[in-house]
Amino acid sequence: MMKSKDQVLDVNGEILREGDPVILLNAPDELLSDLPSEDRADIKAQVGKAMLVQSFNEHGHVELEFKSEDEMMHFIWVKPLCLRKST
């Protein structure tokens, strides 16, 4: 949910900024579709885990990055409603 051009809000209406810790609440089908099964599994394994906001795109999606168990780096773009700001 976008409050203004410069504000991206999480599921609770908290403003997200680059560097903020967030919890990935779910991995929606639109994120997972057309990905290899290994990538889908790696992303699903991040649900409930904290990650840092890397950046935002013009559509208000949030970029996250993480390393999978096999040390592969992953970059994903998610809707802010899939995130909860963490402390």
CATH code at position 17: 2.30.30
| Confidence (pLDDT) at 1 | 42
In tens, the pLDDT along 25-57 reads: 999 999 999 999 999 999 999 999 999 999 999
Which structural domain range is residue 14 located in?
A: 2-85
What is the pTM (predicted TM-score) of this model? 0.88
The confidence score (pLDDT) of residue 87 equals: 78
Question: And the tokens for 24?
Answer: 């990935």
pLDDT at position 85 over 80: yes
CA distance 34 to 21: 28
Nearest-angstrom CA–CA distance, 84 and 56: 15
Q: How many structural domains are present in the chain?
A: 1
How does pLDDT run across 9-19, given as a tens digit for each residue? Answer: 999 999 999 99
Residue 51 β-bridge partners: 22
Q: How far apart are CA 62 and CA 81, in angstroms?
A: 10
User: Tell me, what's the pLDDT at 5?
Assistant: 55
Contact 85, 8 (CB under 8 A): no
